[in-house]
A and B are shown apart, each in its own frame.
Chain A
Amino acid sequence: GDSVTQMEGPVTLSEEAFLTINCTYTATGYPSLFWYVQYPGEGLQLLLKATKADDKGSNKGFEATYRKETTSFHLEKGSVQVSDSAVYFCALMKNRDDKIIFGKGTRLHILP
């Protein structure tokens, strides 16, 4: 079945470090891909998305590129801040089905 695999955390970085959180997916067809973020004590929010191959989603300095050849959607940020500390979820949606399939989440800690 369809699934999303992302690197396990927690990931701990110093402020201003470069961030990569790996995500790969298994799905038939052409799913849309997402990164969601859950800040401490808050609800789940969409961070960025890409709907077709080679699309790049970006928001708040984060980027991810939809790579169909490697079935990947890695999240990157050039310089992280303490305020980026959160749990990040990679996800896919089969456009016909509408439901979102999530990875297990990666907890990110940024140290000042």
Chain B
Amino acid sequence: GAGVSQSPSNKVTEKGKDVELRCDPISGHTALYWYRQSLGQGLEFLIYFQGNSAPDKSGLPSDRFSAERTGGSVSTLTIQRTQQEDSAVYLCASSLRQGEQFFGPGTRLTVL
């Protein structure tokens, strides 16, 4: 596709369950970013990939959060043992190195 895609678009889960969120970046984009948008905190950076490596994981809020990227393309953000405060919209963006970041539509996560 032409843009960044994310799946699922909506996810409702119960507290304590694990969730996986997927991001398909724009083809050829080497950099991939995860952000979180929540009512109380605004838009926060989570993690950044250059190729398959993650030089900056400084935004991950706890060790329940992890992410991987394979083949320099698709990325998965995993949240283990979800908590209600994890409820947010999770945004993915991709770019060429230090270029404009293009954002996906986001995954709305609701933890009951």
A31 CB-CB contact with B under 8 Å: no
Would you give the shortest CB distance from B37 to chain A, in whole angstroms?
8
Q: Which of B45, B48, B101 has the most CB of A within 10 A?
A: B101
Interface 0/1 of A75-101, CB less than 8 Å to B: 000000000000001010001011111
Is the pair B42, A104 in contact by a Cβ cutoff of 8 Å? yes
Docked Cα-Cα span, A104 to B39, in Å, equals: 9
Docked Cα-Cα span, A42 to B3, in Å, equals: 13
Interface residues of B (CB under 8 A from A): 31, 33, 35, 42-45, 48, 56, 59, 91, 93, 95, 98, 100-101, 103-106
A57 CB-CB contact with B under 8 Å: no
Is the pair B56, A97 in contact by a Cβ cutoff of 8 Å? yes
Docked Cα-Cα span, A42 to B105, in Å, equals: 7
Q: In chain A, residues 32-51, which have Cβ atoms closer than 8 Å to a Cβ of chain B?
A: 42-46, 49
Given contacts A44-B91, A95-B98, A97-B56, contact A103 B104 (CB under 8 A): no
Interface residues of A (CB under 8 A from B): 42-46, 49, 89, 91, 95, 97-105
Given contacts A43-B104, A44-B103, A46-B100, contact A98 B56 (CB under 8 A): yes
Is the pair B100, A100 in contact by a Cβ cutoff of 8 Å? no
Q: Which of A42, A43, A102 has the most CB of B within 10 A?
A: A43
Is the pair A105, B103 in contact by a Cβ cutoff of 8 Å? no
* Further contacts, 16 of them, CB under 8 A, given A98-B33, A100-B35: A42-B105, A43-B105, A43-B106, A44-B43, A45-B103, A91-B43, A95-B98, A98-B31, A98-B56, A99-B45, A99-B59, A100-B101, A102-B42, A102-B44, A104-B43, A105-B43
Complex interface: chain B residues within 8 A of A45 (CB): 103
Is the pair B98, A98 in contact by a Cβ cutoff of 8 Å? yes
Docked Cα-Cα span, A101 to B93, in Å, equals: 13
